[in-house]
Amino acid sequence: MTAAEGVALLGVRHHGPGSARAVRAALDRLEPRIVLVEGPPEADAVLGLAADPGMRPPVALLAHVVDEPSRAGFWPFAEFSPEWAAIRWAAGHGVAVRFIDLPAAHSLLLRDERDAPRGPQVRREGEGEGEEGDGAEEEAGAADARIDPLAVLARTAGHDDPERWWEDAVEHRGRDGEGEADPLAAFGALAEAMGVLRETYGDGGHRGDAVREAHMRLRIREARRAHERVAVVCGAWHVPALARTGGVTADRALLKGLPKAKVEVTWVPWTHRRLSRAGGYGAGIDSPGWYRHLFTSPDRPVARWMTKVAGLLREEDLPVSSAHVIEAVRLADTLAGLRGRPLPGLGETTDAVRAVMCDGSDVPLALIRDRLVVGDVLGEVPEGAPAVPLARDLAREQRRLRMKPEAPEREMDLDLRKDTDAARSRLLHRLRMLGIGWGRPGRSRTATTGTFRESWRLRWEPELAVAVAEAGVWGTTVESAAGARAEDAAVHARALAEVTGLAEQCLLAGLPDALPTVMRVLADRAALDPDVAHLAQALPALVRSLRYGDVRGTDAGALREVAEGLAERVCVGLPPACAGLDADGAAEMRGHVAQVQQALVLLGDDALRDRWAGVLRKLAVRDRGIPGLLRGSAARLLLDDARLEPGEVARLMGLALSHGTPPQEAAAWVEGFLAGGGMLLVHDERLLALVDGWLSAVPAAAFDDVLPLLRRTFGGFDAGARRTVGELVRRGPGGGGAGGAAGEGLPGFAPRLDEERAEAALSTVRLLLGPGGADGGGDA
Amino acid sequence: MSVDTALRPHAEDAFAHELKALAAADDRPRPARWNLSPWAVATYLLGGELPDGTVVTPKYVGPRRIVEVVVSTLATDRALLLLGVPGTAKTWVSEHLAAAVSGDSTLLVQGTAGTPEEAVRYGWNYARLLTGGPSREALVPSPVMRAMAEGRIARVEELTRIPADVQDGLITILSEKTLPIPELGTETQAVRGFNVIATANDRDRGVNELSSALRRRFNTVVLPLPATVEEEVDIVSRRVRQLGRSLELPAAPEGADEIRRVVTVFRELRGGVTADGRTKVKSPSGTLSTAEAISVVTNGLALAAHFGDGVLRAGDIAAGILGAVVRDPAADRVVWQEYLETVVREREGWKDFYRACREVAP
């Protein structure tokens, strides 16, 4: 394990409580003069902050290319990371610490050349132990060529689960490590095993390792020259390579001519969720909360863990007693014995909790997993840490789009057909997504709010700088951060409508990368939502987004698919949902039906519209259980769409208003049918004739009962419409003034055409209709 | 009765050779009065090959984790409650556990709405009671009491069907590990090795919900439905074959596709997500257990044999599936229609099934 005299190589797993403990013990024993840690050397400048009392892990080193913040890498550290333990140990003992990995100035560019990844990369636990597994490699499918040293070791030891093997062999042993005679023995054994592996597999397909290891070797050599005792904390995989001595010239040659960029490094707060695999930026560990517990609990970790679990379950009002805790601990111990493990691991404790505390159910386990196994820990970074790249990216965008952050409020009208304005709109929408309320959408001063106009009120408050810093955890550029935030919001959204809103915002903000996630959540939510009303509510926003999508040139194919699926579900679920509603429920449902109708017209899918018409017909024709308001409304929608013959409508109306129908029901039908005011009766003689015909046919005896209902409906019309309808009815059916007194035309119109005034309008009408249709317009 | 003549031999008799070979090969520590070590019990249930070449057949096909928790529970002398929907092998597992641990699976209390207290505690031989007064000789021990005295495993089937007051009779037995007999002024103390395995139906929780005092004495393990389509198709076709033979239906090898279809529909509706994991669907109120899939297929076979051309087709199973899925006429119907329209209609090669379902749709 000792490469040269005075150099101790401590091979670790990047996030492992046992490794961290062992590193601490080993450093206590070795008392090195300098500690070298695998990490970007640019971060040496901010390493001092690690000792700052304001620094609380989990935190991450963030390195990014100055001109291009989207080229960035995160190096997360948790309390239980061996590297962190080493850094803190050095700070506590006044010993120097240096990062020795290949500078980020090269590595960020190298990654890009190889795989052209999207967005920042995270050092993760990867399949390869000690592998600086940049996610890009995995995404690019290059992983095939790589071996997983841990899995090989585990297989050799006869275990099928590498993770579990590592825990048993290394992490759990670390617990007793403090009492052991030689805290270095474990590192020696591990280094030996890795040595054999590397002899067999070479670099194991881990591309780029040769360069990095060359750099590390050189730095170790340098440190050795200056200091008497050197300790190196690095991924176990690298140990054999770093132990090699000599070959300095070859190493130097390898490092020649690497591409180089200007890089800045800072600390950013990190969370446990982002350490876990569940998060998009996961560092590849399953159970940060469990590891932290193992690392921080002074003794009896299983008993303490069970007590924590019991506490959490009690908070959720599940009856868990101390007896449960005792039994759970016993069961976990027995299970570990049965499975031949030295100590109960997370698997055993989880099984025990499920059987003893949760009645065999997985539901409370999900809570435990979320709150304890992963955990809600949020790191903190001291004030002095350099600015996050997001702020810089924002400043650059503001310059590019000539939008100065100013304190006084000002309005800004954007014409989305212009590229600059569209970009400005996207920026403002993205900032809103990130909770940076620089711009608020305002009422457009140009009253015609077409889809290509937007109006904003801009006001830069000093607090917004804080909001920008906070938003820094989401990403390094405004675009990537807003996308990440949108995905997160979609996953955690409570209501279906919330997700639809997000989809709309994603289109407005130009975040096509976030759309697939949002769409997936949306489709899932829609499939599971039993309430047709929710589905109907969600549909209009979706269809609106589709139309926006057209204006803004975003691809909305996925959106259309989801919208159509949603419409399908509404079609299936609507009739049962309409049955047995009370007056208020019916009124609400009528609103939904109208919205769906509008949305489907916009959507313009003929097959869907046919289906929808079928559903409406079902509503209109069925008379048991469906409230009159909805039946009337459905009949009206069908009639407007020319999908119902006037004769059929007359029949339905006659049925609905006949003596056998209770008065309230009949009134509701009329209300539903005549919704939207009386002007329709004025303009559509067919409708008027229907109502009139029915009214005349009402038998005298029933008229008294019907009168109040009609009074209620027609009372809702405005006075003008009411009068006009009255006059039309007085004139009698047939219109055209045939039977009316001389000098009376349509109510509200003069008897004859006023040629002079018509002439004035004619040219405009001609313009509107185009050259072909203008001639007919005159006598309309 | 010997193994040969019994219609259904007990587990400890049917698999006696396996138990013997395991006991011989087993050198791990055994809890008091256990015939085998916990490790050997797990091997007995999950199957494997012993050093002497004996092949132990798997008794339970399912996650290893479950068997390990079950055996560990018995080893920590906590009572074990096996939950699961019908047809998840609860009784089967409990019988084999008792056979492997105590070599005796016959100490059984069958839970029904009419299970009396005597079945859990003890009764009296009234002829003796009248002639000689209360005495040990006049006392008729329940299976549970005998298990206590002999340090064996007692089994309680369908625990939640037993009336609540009788259920609670188990509390003293499980917590104090003793059964007082006030009539004689004595008690029966449980010998080490005594334990109780109870089974209960998941969906039956409401019948006679366990009191929290009793529930606390049990470790609960839920036995899951088959994990993969292959597993379930296998179980269904094997069972259908057996049933078909006894009903003298013609064998229908061409029906394998339809069996897969039934299993797929059941699994998708049960799991709330399509097999490709891309679309979520609503779940109906019925259990849609493997047992129901078996009955749908058997029913379809009978239809095909007696009224069709003997080949199992989509039309033969459509009505059966509808009956199994739509239990609640209002809510389940919507669920089924949605499933038909959004999943079945688009699926490649399922046209005939879609049409058949539309035909029988309510």
Decide if B341 and A356 are in contact by the 8 Å CB cutoff.
no
Q: What is the percent of chain A where pLDDT is above 90?
A: 6
Q: Which pLDDT score, from 0 to 100, does residue A139 have?
A: 33
Q: Which of B249, B244, B281, B243 is nearest to B264 (CA)?
A: B281
Does this complex have an ipTM over 0.90? no
Is A500 a domain residue? no
Name the more confident of A147 and A311: A311
Pairing of strands A68-77, A96-99: unpaired
Facing residue for A331 by CB, picked from B39, B76, B279: B76
Q: pLDDT digit string (tens) for A202-251?
A: 766 666 778 888 889 988 888 888 888 899 998 888 888 888 877 788 88
C-beta atoms of A334 and B337 within 8 A: no
Single out the residue in A412, A445, A474 at which a domain terminates. Answer: A474
Q: What is the pLDDT of residue A128?
A: 35
- The reported pLDDT for the residue numbered A740 is 38
Q: What is the pLDDT of residue A138?
A: 34
Split at pLDDT 50, 70, 90, the class of A533 is confident
Residue pointed to by tokens 């991924």: A235
B159 Cα to chain A: minimum distance (Å): 15
Region for A271 from its dihedrals, namely left if φ exceeds 0, alpha if ψ lies in -120 to 50, beta otherwise: beta
Chain B hits for A359, CB-CB cut-off 8 Å, are: 83, 215, 220
Judge if A303 and A263 occupy the same domain: no
Nearest to A313 by CA among A302, A299, A324: A324
| Cis bond upstream, residue A627 (ω within 30) | no
Mean pLDDT of A381-399: 79
Chain A partners within 8 Å of B342 (Cβ)? 527, 565, 568-569
Positive or negative, the CA dihedral A728, A734, A735, A739 is negative
8 Å CB contact between B42 and B137: no
What pLDDT does A132 receive? 37
Distance, in Å, from the CA atom of A38 to the CA atom of A239, rounded to the nearest integer, reads 11
Q: What is the share, in percent, of chain A residues with pLDDT greater than 70?
A: 79
Q: Are both A314 and A360 inside the same structural domain? A: yes
Residue A267: which residues within 8 A CB-CB, separation 6 or more? Answer: A46, A49, A55, A59, A60, A61, A62, A381, A382, A385
Distance CA A70, CA A513 (A): 14
Selected residue of B269, B334, B345 to mutate for chain A interface (largest A Cβ count, 10 A): B334
Q: Identify all chain B residues contacting A335, using CB atoms and an 8 Å cutoff.
A: 68-69, 72
* pLDDT tens for chain B, residues 1 to 362: 555 677 778 889 888 999 999 999 988 889 989 999 999 999 999 888 888 888 888 888 778 889 999 999 999 888 999 998 777 778 889 999 999 999 999 999 999 888 999 999 999 999 999 998 899 999 999 999 999 999 999 999 999 999 999 998 899 899 899 999 999 999 999 999 999 999 998 776 557 888 888 988 999 999 888 878 888 887 787 777 766 766 666 665 556 778 888 888 998 888 888 887 777 788 888 888 887 888 888 888 888 888 877 778 888 888 888 888 888 888 888 888 888 888 888 888 888 888 888 888 76
**A394 and A313, same structural domain?**
no
Domain assignment of residue A534, yes or no: no
Residue A355 has its nearest CB partner, among B220, B279, B280, at B220
Interface test with A, best of B44, B72, B344 (most A CBs within 10 A): B72
Q: Which residue of B has its CA nearest to A530?
A: B282
Q: Is residue A649 a part of any domain in this protein?
A: yes
Containing domain of residue A46, as a range?
7-134+204-275
Q: Which residues of B touch A (CB under 8 A)?
A: 38-39, 42, 65, 68-69, 71-73, 75-76, 78, 81, 83, 212, 215-216, 219-222, 272, 279-282, 330-331, 333-334, 337-338, 341-342
Which residues does A contribute to its contact with B (CB < 8 Å)? 319, 321, 323-324, 327, 330-331, 334-335, 337-339, 347, 351-352, 354-356, 358-361, 523-524, 527-528, 530, 565, 568-569, 572-573, 576
The model's pTM is: 0.66
Q: Is residue A157 part of a domain?
A: no
In a domain, A693, yes or no: yes
How many contacts (CB atoms, under 8 Å) link A and B?
85
pLDDT band at A284 (very low <50, low <70, confident <90, very high): low
Flag whether A246 is in a domain.
Answer: yes
Query: Can you give the length of chain B in residues?
Result: 362
- Chain A residues with CB under 8 Å of B83 CB are 359-360
pLDDT score recorded for residue B36: 93
CA distance, residue A513 to nearest chain B CA (Å): 19
Most confident stretch, A296-310, A584-598, B283-297: A296-310
Judgement on whether residues A220 and A94 belong to the same structural domain of the protein: yes
| pLDDT tens digits, A535-568 | 888 788 778 777 765 555 555 676 777 788 888 8
Q: Are residues A355 and A420 in the same domain?
A: no
A448 Rama class: left (phi>0) / alpha (psi -120 to 50) / beta:
beta
Q: Which of A352, A375, A398 is the last residue of a domain?
A: A375
Q: How confident is the model at residue A448 (pLDDT cuts 50, 70, 90)?
A: very low
CA-nearest residue to B84 within chain A is A360
Q: Is the pLDDT of residue A328 over 80?
A: yes
Q: What is residue B124's three-state secondary structure?
A: strand
Q: Quick check: B222 and A360 CB within 8 A?
A: yes
Residue with tokens 């054994």: A189
**Nearest chain B residue (CA) to A524:** B280
Looking at beta carbons, which residues of chain A come within 8 Å of B197?
Answer: none
Q: Could B81 and A360 be called an inter-chain contact, meaning their C-beta atoms sit closer than 8 Å?
A: yes
Say if CB A581 and CB A591 are below 8 A apart.
Answer: no
State the angle between helix axes of B256-271 and B314-325 in degrees (0 to 180), rounded to the nearest 10.
20
Q: Which of A265-279, A405-419, A623-637, B346-360 has the highest mean pLDDT?
A: B346-360
- Residues A324, A265 share a domain: no
Comparing CB atoms, the residue among B279, B334, B342 nearest residue A576 is B334
Burial-class residue A445 by CB neighbours within 10 Å (0-12, 13-18, 19+): exposed
Which H or E run contains A421?
A: helix A419-433
How long a stretch of residues is chain A?
780
Cross-chain residue pair B279–A523, CB shorter than 8 Å: yes
A394/A467 same-domain check: yes
Query: B72 and A338: CB-CB below 8 Å?
Result: yes
Residues 6+ apart with CB under 8 A from B126: none
> Does residue A521 lie within any of the structural domains?
no
**What would the mean pLDDT of A721-743 be, rounded to a whole number?**
61
Based on the domain organization, do A18 and A113 belong to the same domain? yes
Closest residue to B282, CB basis, from A337, A352, A530? A530
Chain B residues close to A337, C-beta within 8 Å: 38, 72
Q: Over chain A, what is the mean pLDDT?
A: 77
Q: How many domains does chain A have?
A: 5
Chain A residues with beta carbon closer than 8 angstroms to that of B81: 360
Average pLDDT over residues A493-510: 81
Identify the pLDDT of residue B82: 93
Mean pLDDT of A281-304: 80
Between CA B251 and CA B271 the distance in angstroms is 30
Specify if A742 maps to a domain: no
Domain boundary among A474, A491, A525: A474
Q: What is the pLDDT of residue A36?
A: 92
What is the pLDDT at residue A749? Answer: 58
Interface-testing mutation among B37, B41, B69, B343, with chain A (most A C-beta atoms within 10 A)? B69
Q: Are residues A310 and A398 in the same domain?
A: no
Beta bridge partners of B221: B82
pLDDT confidence of residue B278: 72
In tens, the pLDDT along A614-665 reads 888 888 887 677 888 888 888 888 888 878 877 787 778 777 766 666 666 7
| Same-domain pairing of A225 and A355 | no
Cβ–Cβ contacts within 10 Å for residue A476, how many?
26
Report how far apart, in Å, the C-alpha atoms of B57 and of each of B22, B25, B45, B240, B241 are. Answer: 12, 16, 8, 22, 21
Please tell me whether residues A244 and A123 are part of one structural domain: yes
| Residue A215 shares a structural domain with residue A244 | yes
Q: How big is the CA angle at A52 (ends A50 and A56), to the nearest 5 degrees?
A: 70
Determine the pLDDT at residue A454.
Answer: 81
